[in-house]
Amino acid sequence: MRHCVYILFSVSCYKFYTGQTQDFDNRLAEHNRGETPSIKSCIPWKLVWLKEVETRVEALKLEKKIKSRGANRFLIEQGVMVN
């Protein structure tokens, strides 16, 4: 089953959130219902970047890479501008 690595952005908190999942639509809905305690104060979240990979191992490696660089820096390197 394919996995997704994603970066979300909260306008209300001006923060990024990076994660990975097999079911992105469900995961985004969970975030926006406030079901993720560490980020529920920043809803709503909007998708700014998404990549599908073949395995969970690949997803975890990419998620770690993004988090070590910082989502904003990673997005700039990818040519993605967040307004």
82 in a structural domain:
no
Residue 51: domain span:
3-77
- Summarised one tens digit per residue, pLDDT across range 73-83 is 999 999 887 76
pLDDT of residue 64: 97
Quick one: pLDDT at residue 83? Answer: 64
Task: Count how many residues are written for the chain.
Answer: 83
- What CATH number should be reported for the domain holding residue 39? 3.40.1440.10
For the segment 40-75, what is each residue's pLDDT rounded down to a tens digit?
999 999 999 999 999 999 999 999 999 999 999 999
Euclidean distance between CA atoms 66 and 59, whole angstroms = 11
Q: Within 10 Å of residue 19's Cβ, how many Cβ atoms?
A: 19
Is residue 9 assigned to a domain?
A: yes
Q: Is 72 helix (H, G, I), strand (E, B) or coil?
A: helix
Highest mean pLDDT among 1-5, 36-40, 48-52: 48-52
Closest CA to 66 of 11, 28, 20, 10: 20
Confidence at residue 48, expressed as pLDDT on a 0 to 100 scale:
97
Work out how many domains the chain is built from and give that number.
1
pTM for the full predicted model = 0.93
Distance CA 40, CA 29 (A): 12
